[in-house]
């Protein structure tokens, strides 16, 4: 970590935030019998898994379905970058027809990934309703009219900054940091 990096959620706040998000979902979705949670690959799936684990910890009878959706083939910046975008695995072993879908991603910034996610999701049916859950909502730099229904934390950032979510399971610690990347990053 560099001096300019700021921790915006440490591991305790991180845990509390996920617990709060889980409780908010329960308020709106009761027993989740008609609800599906879909994490956007690659990093939204970590959050989706954590949220589902939390839901099960609160109510062990909750058997909400969990999917992982890759948006690579639906992105609008393909061929605007130097190299082909590398896809991730999609695991959607169910139909979303007439279901309530909660899309999950770690950071909401320009909104373009979510736009691609909405498009990719429609290949699996016509859901009744779609909501969006994000851990970090970066304000002021939206490129598309997309807002989240459930927000872990709102942050005010300048464009050159990056928000990074790290996970205990893969990165060693649950935290969110804000940093300014080097020129070549």
Partner 1 sequence: MSKLSVNHLLGIRYLTPEDINLIFETADHFKEVINRPIKKVPSLRDITIANLFFENSTRTKLSFEIAEKRLSADIINFSSSNSSVTKGETLIDTVNNILSMKVDMVVMRHPNPGAADFLSKHVDAKIVNAGDGAHEHPTQALLDAFSIREKYGDLKGKNVVIVGDILHSRVALSNIFCLKKLGANVKVCGPLTLMPKHINSLGVEVITDLKEALNWCDVAMMLRIQLERQDMKFFPSLREYSMLYGLDKSLLDSLDKEITIMHPGPINRGVEITSDVADSKQSIILNQVENGVAIRMAVLYLLAGKQN
Interface positions with partner 1 (CB under 8 A): 70, 72-74, 78-79, 81-90, 92, 95, 119-120, 122-125
Determine the Cα–Cα distance for residues 76 and 142; give it in Å rounded to an integer.
15
| Residues 6+ positions from 77 with CB-CB distance below 8 Å | 85, 112
Q: Are 28 and 101 in contact (CB under 8 A)?
A: no
27 vs 77 by CB, closer to partner 1: 77
**Which of 27, 185 has the CB closer to partner 1?**
185
- Identify which of residues 44 and 152 has a Cβ nearer to partner 1 in the complex: 44
Angle at CA of residue 172, ends 166 and 174, nearest 5°: 45
168 burial (CB, 10 Å; 0-12 / 13-18 / 19+) is middle
* CA quadruple 33, 35, 40, 42: dihedral, nearest 10: -10
Residue number with CB closer to partner 1 (96 or 155): 96
> In the complex, what is the shortest distance from the CB of residue 80 to partner 1, in angstroms, rounded to a whole number?
10
Question: Least distance from C-beta 151 to partner 1, angstroms?
Answer: 29
Q: For residue 48, what are its two tokens?
A: 């989706």
Spatial distance between the Cα atoms of 118 and 102, rounded to a whole number of angstroms: 11
Find residue 71's DSSP bridge partners: none
Shortest Cβ distance from residue 117 to partner 1 (Å)? 13
Nearer residue to partner 1 within complex by CB, 59 or 119:
119
Q: How far is the CB of 90 from partner 1 (least distance, A)?
A: 6
> Cβ of residue 70: shortest distance to partner 1, in angstroms?
7
Closer CB to partner 1, 2 or 79, in the complex = 79
Report in angstroms how near the CB of residue 75 gets to partner 1 at its nearest. Answer: 8
Spatial distance between the Cα atoms of 4 and 70, rounded to a whole number of angstroms: 32
């Amino acid at each position: 970590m560099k001096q300019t990096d700021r921790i915006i959620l440490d591991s305790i706040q991180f845990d509390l935030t996920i617990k709060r998000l889980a409780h908010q979902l329960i308020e709106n979705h009761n027993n989740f019998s008609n609800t599906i949670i879909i994490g956007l690959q690659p990093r939204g799936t970590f959050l989706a898994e954590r949220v589902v684990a939390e839901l099960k910890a609160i109510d062990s009878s909750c058997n909400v379905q969990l999917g992982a959706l890759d948006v690579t083939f639906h992105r609008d910046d393909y061929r605007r970058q130097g190299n082909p975008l590398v896809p991730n695995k999609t695991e959607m072993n169910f139909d979303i027809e007439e279901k309530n879908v909660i899309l999950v991603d770690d950071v909401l910034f320009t909104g373009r990934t979510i736009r691609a996610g909405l498009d990719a999701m429609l290949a699996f049916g016509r859901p009744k309703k779609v909501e969006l859950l994000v851990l970090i909502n970066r304000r002021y730099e939206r490129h598309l009219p997309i807002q989240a229904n459930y927000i872990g934390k709102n942050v005010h950032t300048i464009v050159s900054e990056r928000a990074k979510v790290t996970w205990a399971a893969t990165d060693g610690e649950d935290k969110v940091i804000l940093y300014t990347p080097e020129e070549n990053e």
